[in-house]
Each structure stands twice: as C-alpha cells, then as structure tokens.
C-alpha cells in the first residue's frame, strides 16, 4: 500500500510561493496556505488549498511546513514570534525555502530541534519561471535523515540536492547569487561596450551564443537587456540582500570577495537611481555611470 502524502503548511504565498504551493497541490498534497495578505493565499483555494488565518493555525496539523518568506527576520517572526513553533507537532519537518543568512538557518534549526522538530534550509534558484514550471534548483542543508523525509515533496517543486549540514543550503544559494549577479554585470558591460562602439547588441548576443560566453544569463538576461525589458522577474533589492549576506558570511570566514563587493555597490546605485528593477537592470546603472542614455545606446 502506498503511504499517504504528508500534510503540508505553506507559509508565504508571494510571486514564488504561489507557484510552488500550486505544484504541491497538483502533485496531490493536502496544503494549508497562509499569507500575511490573506487574499494571496485565497488564490489557491480553487486548487484545493485550505486557507489559515495565522501561521499557528496553518502548521497545527502539518507534517511538513514550507516557508517561502522575504528574509531572515521575517522567517523568525513567522516561525517563532507568531507562536507557530509552539503549534508544531513533534516530529514535523520545517523546510525553509527563503533566502536567509546561514547563521540564521542554523539558529532556527537549533531552536526547532528543542521542540522535536527537524529543519531543512532549502533556498531555490530559477525565479518565477522555474517556480511555475516546477524546475527550481533546490539547495538543501540539514541532517540527511530530515532531507530524505522531504525529498519527494521537494521534487514536486524542482531538483533538490542535499549539499551539507544546517546552513549549507543557504551558502549554496549565496554562491548561486554571486555567480548570477556577476554574470549579469558582465553581460551588461559587454553589450554596453558593443552598442557604444557601433555594433548591434542584439546581433552581438546572437553571435556569442554557443561559444564560451554562452550561459542562461546571456540567454535570458541578455535578451531582457536587448529589449530593455526590466519588468521585475528577479528583484534587485532581493539580490542585493543576498549579496550582502554573502559578504557577511565571507567576513566571518576571513575571506575577501571583491567581485561581490562591486556587485553590491552596483545594485545600491541601481536601487537609488532607478528603483527596484529586474536584476538585469544592472545595465541601467552601468549606463548611468558612463553618462549614457540607455534609450539612445543602440547601434546606428
């Protein structure tokens, strides 16, 4: 006989969480959804979700609690200050898919363990496109036994890989954000150089495809730069938060991350001068620093 699927509480029905929770429902999981703005959680009712009025109510009968929240302090507020931790049943697993500091994930794991609750930090990469398609890269840290208990559930949302002990998932996500952010900056500089020199940036991007410069960043973010489509799919303010977390973690480990330091500076400039554009909007900040009007920065 096939074992029944665990009951799931999903905390945080935002741009990403809505798609992730929907995929769990489509995979046959019983999901109770909670969001600070109840209306966002209610969008899942048509798929069979139950909506809770508080985090504590949501987690009361859950075998697995999935959190997809904005940052570490909000995760701590929702899990602990709200009383959700007291409502959790012993033996439950909390899977925190938010992007937070490794030290925060380790602290949460320690506090939950005192209540007999396991913890897996499992941040993701892939954006809203990956969340909707169920193809997210999922980087999981925690005890191997806890990961094994939720691996099948995570596979309904993407491709989970256990990368190490508590906090290791968050370190992997920070590594991801460094790679993606620096690559976005490099693509922006390259296309700006090409356009300023008289080349067609769209054709340059096409010419580079298939060579050593090929990447998903050149493909997806490069296309957004060519089309100047900076409608938010990946928030710059969130990417900056992750890079700041990476710099904080590096400082604690005695490391110097010069590329990450420059990337943080560029994102701060973008946010201060253009607002919270999609992170491909780093091109806008690079143009500003060079005195260029992006609308005119095209090949003749």
Cα–Cα distance, 145 to 162 (Å, whole number): 11
Cα–Cα distance, 168 to 176 (Å, whole number): 12
- For the chain, give the number of residues: 300
Active site members: 173
User: Is the CB of residue 35 less than 8 Å from the CB of residue 45?
Assistant: no
Q: What is the DSSP string of 120-176?
A: EE--EESHHHHHHHT-EEEEEES-HHHHHHHHHHHHTTEEEEEEESTTHHHHHHHHH
User: Is the CB of residue 9 less than 8 Å from the CB of residue 59?
Assistant: yes
């Amino acid at each position: 006989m096939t074992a029944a699927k665990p009951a799931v509480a999903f905390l945080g029905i935002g741009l990403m969480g809505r798609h992730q929770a929907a995929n769990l429902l489509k995979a046959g999981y019983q999901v109770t959804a909670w969001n600070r703005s109840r209306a966002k959680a209610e969008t899942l009712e048509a798929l069979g979700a139950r909506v809770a009025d508080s985090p504590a109510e949501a987690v009361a009968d859950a075998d697995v609690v999935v959190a997809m929240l904005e940052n570490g302090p909000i995760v701590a507020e929702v899990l602990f200050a709200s009383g959700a931790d007291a409502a959790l049943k012993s033996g439950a697993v909390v899977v925190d898919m938010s992007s937070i500091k490794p030290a925060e994930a380790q602290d949460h794991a320690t506090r939950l363990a005192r209540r007999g609750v396991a913890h897996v930090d499992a941040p993701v990469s892939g954006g809203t496109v990956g969340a909707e398609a169920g193809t997210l890269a999922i980087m999981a840290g925690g005890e191997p036994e806890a990961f094994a208990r939720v691996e099948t559930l995570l596979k309904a949302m993407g491709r989970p890989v256990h990368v190490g002990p508590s906090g290791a998932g968050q370190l992997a996500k920070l590594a991801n954000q460094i790679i993606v952010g620096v690559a976005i900056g490099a693509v922006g500089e390259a296309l700006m150089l090409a356009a300023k020199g008289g080349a067609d940036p769209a054709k340059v991007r096409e010419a580079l495809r298939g060579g050593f410069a090929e990447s998903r960043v050149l493909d997806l973010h490069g296309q957004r730069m060519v089309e100047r489509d900076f409608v938010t799919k990946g928030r710059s303010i969130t990417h900056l938060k992750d890079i700041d977390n990476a710099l904080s973690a590096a400082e604690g480990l005695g490391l110097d991350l010069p590329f990450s330091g420059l990337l943080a500076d560029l994102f701060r400039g973008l946010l201060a001068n253009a607002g919270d554009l999609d992170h491909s909007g780093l091109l806008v900040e690079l143009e500003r620093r060079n005195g260029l009007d992006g609308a005119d920065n095209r090949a003749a």
